[in-house]
Structure formats: C-alpha cells, structure tokens
Structure 1
Amino acid sequence: TGDYYQLPQVWREIKQVLAGKYPVFGRLDNGLESGLSSIDFLQAIALVRTWERKQQRLGATVSCKRRDLLDLPLADFVRLAPKLAEAFAWVGDFLERQCIVRPADLPYKTQLVPLAAVRAILDTGTDGLGAEEKIDQWYWCGVLGEMYGGSTETRFTKDVEQLVPWIAQDEKAPETVTEAFFFADRLDTLTTRNSAAYKGIYALLIKQGAVDWHYTSAPLTPGRLDEYSVDVRQIFPKTWFRRGNSNGLPTSSIVNKTPLSYRASMDMTGAPSSYLSTMIAASDMRPEWFDDLLTTHLIDPDALRENDYERFYRDRSKQLQDLVHSAMGKRTMLRDLPEGDVR
C-alpha cells in the first residue's frame, strides 16, 4: 500500500532522536547515514515479531532473514516500531554504562540488534540487578570472545531464544556466554581498532576507573572522552623502542596502550622515567600520589619508572587478563607457550 512509502520517514525520525541523544548510534545528515541503520532496526522488529509468533505457536522459529523483513506486515511495524525505538534508547544507556559512547569505540554494531529485541520482549524485566549482571556478562562475552565477527543471523536467533529465558526464568546460559573464550596470548595480537576485543579492553579500562594523567582530578567518564580528546595512547612510546628495548615482546599491542587525553599524550615522549617526571611536576602531586593514577590503568608504577618493559609487559598482561576474566565471568585460557617465554 501507499503507507509503505512512509517507512523511510518514520525511520529517519527515530534515528534522529536516537543519534541526537546517543552519538554511538552514528549520524543521519543530508540523507547520508552512518552507524545504526534501518536494516538493523527492521531486523530487531522481525526478531520480536517472530518470537511472539513462536510463543503463540503461529511460527516455528525466531528469525530476521531477508524474507522476514519483506513479509513484515505494516500493522506489526506500526505496533512494534515505538517499542523498538524505546529499546534502542535503553541500549544507548546500556552502552554509556559500559563507557562506549562514540561510533569508533563500538566493538560490534550487530550485537545491538538482539540486545534491543530482548529489551523489547522483556521490557523492565531487564532492569533488576540479576538481569543487569547477566546482560553485562552476555555483552562482554560477545565482545571479548569475538563472537559477532562472522555470520550473525543465526547468532541473533540463538541469543534472543536463549537470553530471554536465561534472564526471565534463570534457565541455562546462552551459547554466546558458554562458548566464549579469551586466550591470554590474544593480548599480544590486539593492535588496532579492527578488533572488537581491542575496543572492549579500552572501554573496560575506562569503566573500571582510569584517571587521565593530565586532567587528574577524577576518573574518566563517558562525557569527558570527547572533551579531553581521549584515545588509545602508547605507554612506552614508539621512539623509545628505536634503541631495541622491547626484549622481543610486542610493542604496539593493547598491553602497551591505554586511554589518555591528547594533552597527556603530548608529554609522553622518550623514556617513561623522563616523561613521568614532567607529568608529576605539572600535576603538583607527590610522586606516590601520581603512582596511584598509574595503577588505575593497571600499570606497575615501579616498572614504568625504571623503564623495565619486560616487567611492565608481564605484569600488565596479567592484570588485563584479570580484567577480561571479571567482565566475562570466566578465566582466560592459556595456550602452551615456548619454553623461556616471559609471558
């Protein structure tokens, strides 16, 4: 019917409201769209609609394949669109609590589709303490286990079918939780934003209380990330490694990176022992107090002050493994390492 021609306009209005409040969803300017798309939104609606039909024994499976989007009745779209718009707003709040507020920092856009569908199905049933803990665990298992890196439609279906009863009736955990693993040596190969786990660890460092090394008055918050131009910065700078100080350890992995302001990064040249002296003097803090700032980034202050990269790397790897373990609710896995490997 002619009513279908209103769908793009309805989506534009929903997207503008969402993106206006939650920049993580991308933008919609002059007809050019980035981030959350109308297809993502329709997939979430299809997941909820097919879940409802399955409960009523009218359909066999929860699904959001192309056929489900094409077969979506207008009446169901009109009924479910406001519900999903509210659900995605809740997802925006959820991401902010995880300290993920910018599109470039979002590990997986696709993982938001089943999360919004589950929120629409359970509504305030996702708000209790136990429910929030389960959703947090599911989210971080998906990110750190890199579970949304391949084909996603089957995972969408399983996550909706398994996450809803896990939250509502405490049935068994979803496969995204039970099948997610993080191997400790993955830390060595997380070097760019191309990896969801790289972005995830960056967000977790902020979430657990990292304090900037220039703006030292309080821990970083989602609202300060743009204001302070916070990005991933190398702790032992590239220039320091020109003298061959790495002892064969990776130099550009997430182990040697942390979220810091652009202003802090301007001072970080040469050996850490040198730039720390400059930063401590600028901060008007006693050295032991500045050490406390370093520990909020899961860094051993003594190793940094002594320019001991091997000790720094080994210690921070262990602390980052513990951070990952805490978020996933399970131990990191160890592979057999060559004899004499310091990790």
Structure 2
Amino acid sequence: MSGATFAESRLLSLRTRQSAAYKGLHALLMAEGAKDWRFHQTFDHTQYVALDVDIHHVFPKKWCDDNKIPRNLRESIINKTPLAAKTNRLIGGASPAAYVPKLEGAAAISSDELDAIIGAHLIDTKALRAADFDAFFLARRRALLELVEKAMGKQAQRDVDAGELTGGEEAPEAFAEEYDDPQDPDDVTNEDES
C-alpha cells in the first residue's frame, strides 16, 4: 500500500455503496472485530449472510431529518456502520438516546458490554447515548481516519479542520445531488419484528 493516498475530506464524500473506498472502509471495520450490536456476532461470512448485514445509519435518517442534520453529513460513511437487518429495524428512526437502552434489553447485556461492542465500530458511546451528533461525528471521523492510516501504514492527508464538521469544499451545498435511495434498506423505520 505504499502508493496509496487518502485525504480526510474523502470521509465526508463517501456515501455510495458502489465505491470501493466505501466498501473497503467497512471491510476494515469488520476485520478489526466489529460485531452486530444486538446479536453480538462478528461479521464473518456465515454471520454476514445469516444476519442479513448491510450498512446502516448510526443516527437514523428520520432523526437526522427531524434534527436538521445536513444530508451530506447524514449520508456520509461517518454516520454508517454494518448492522444486522433486525438490529436496524429495532433502531428504526429513533434517537440513539432512546434506541441504545432498548438494544441493551434486546441483547440482554450490560451497558458496559454494549458500549464495548458499539465502541468496536469506532463510535464514541457517550456522544451516541447523549444523541450528540456533532461530538459523535467529529470523534468518528478522527477514528476512521486513524483506521485508514493504520491500513495504509502511513499518514493520510489532513485537509479538514479538526473542529469543523465539514471543510470548505465539503459544505452541504457541494453535495446537491439526490441522496435518498428508494432501494436503501436503511430507510426502514418500523419496530423490531416479533
């Protein structure tokens, strides 16, 4: 990977499943031991298929829309992670402050155990439990960039101010294209199936 390069701002524009970098970043997360939040299963090939794993919003689309989170941030890879379909349905469109305690009950594990599982997705669990999108987003962007740097074996280009959600060219109006994908399973807002 000595010839590989990566700019931090790329994390802000990675939004589509067809992108090799998008798929690669989630493969890195899974290779680092990320597990499903509800079933606490690793994402090996068998579990990936059995759990019907896909990439889903951490802060759900409905919550983001209700809280006026810009679409470019909502749809960024920073706000997405691999999860089982049933886990995504349990989350629905709820605030993380509401769905994390619900996940604890469904998974039958302690808060600390769930925090460790969520943390393996490089997510700041305090920010998630507080539904603090800005703190979550900044911390996860840093963590994902460090994951990429580890995989490349060298430093990435840091071209976004550490305290800014977006950087210059990455402002919301820079992504005027349509984000909503009618085929996107992450748009599910119903409750867990019984």
Q: TM-score, normalised by structure 2?
A: 0.79
**Alpha-carbon shift at residue 214 of structure 1 (Å):** 1.8
The CA RMSD over aligned residues, in Å, is 1.9
Q: CA deviation at 1:224?
A: 1.2
Q: Which has the higher helix share?
A: 1
CA contact (8 A) 2:104 2:111 kept: yes
**Given the alignment, which residue of 189, 192, 210 partners 2:16?**
192
> What's 2:159 paired with?
335
1:246/1:310 contact within 8 Å kept: no
Partner of 2:53: 230
Question: Is 1:325–2:149 an aligned residue pair?
Answer: yes
Gapped regions of structure 2 (runs ≥ 5): 167-194
Give deviations 1:272-316, integer Å, cap 9, x for gaps. Answer: 111111111111111111111111100010000000000000000
Task: Supply the distance in 2 between the matched residues of 1:229 and 1:221 (Cα, whole angstroms).
Answer: 12
Select the residue among 246, 257, 279 that pairs with 2:69. 246
> 3-state DSSP class of the match of 2:81?
strand
Structure with higher RCO (Cα < 8 A, 6+ apart): 2
Give the direction of change, closer, same or farther, for the CA distance of 1:260–1:248 in structure 2 (3 Å limit): closer
Residue of structure 1 equivalent to 2:122: 298
Q: Percent identity?
A: 33
Q: Is the 8 A contact 1:249 1:310 kept in 2?
A: no
- What's the counterpart of residue 29 of structure 2? 205
Residues 222-254 of structure 1: CA deviation (Å, up to 9, x unaligned) = 221111101101110010012234278611111
CA shift at 1:336, angstroms?
5.7
Q: Verify the 8 A CA contact 2:95 2:131 in the aligned structure 1.
A: yes
| Equivalent position of 2:179 in the other structure | none
Query: Among 165, 174, 182, which residue is 2:6 paired with?
Result: 182
**Alpha-carbon distance between aligned partners in 2 of 1:336 and 1:205, rounded to the nearest angstrom:** 22
What letter matches 2:74 in structure 1?
A: T
Gaps of 5+ in 1: 1-137, 139-176
The residue number in structure 2 matching 1:220 is 43
CA distance in 1, matches of 2:78, 2:160: 20
Amino acid at match of 1:251: R
The structural deviation recorded for 1:194 is: 2.4
Mapped partners of 2:96, 2:136: distance in 1:
11
Question: Taking structure 1 as reference, are residues 289 and 266 closer, same or farther at Cα in structure 2, changes over 3 Å only?
Answer: same
Runs of 4+ in 1 over 4 A off after TM superposition: none
Name the amino acid aligned to 2:131: N
Structure with bigger gyration radius: 1
Deviations 1:91-149 (A, max 9, x none): xxxxxxxxxxxxxxxxxxxxxxxxxxxxxxxxxxxxxxxxxxxxxxx3xxxxxxxxxxx
Superposition pairs of residues 26-175 of structure 1, within 5 angstroms: 138=1
Gap change, CA 1:213 and 1:330, over 3 Å in 2: same
Q: Compute the displacement of 1:263 (Å).
A: 1.0
Quick one: which amino acid aligns to residue 332 of structure 1? A
Structure 2 vs 1, CA of residues 189 and 249 (structure 1 numbering), >3 Å: closer, same or farther? closer
Residue 267 of structure 1 corresponds to 90
The TM-score, its normalising length taken from structure 1, stands at 0.46
Q: Could you tell me how far apart the structure 2 residues matched to 1:340 and 1:204 are? A: 25
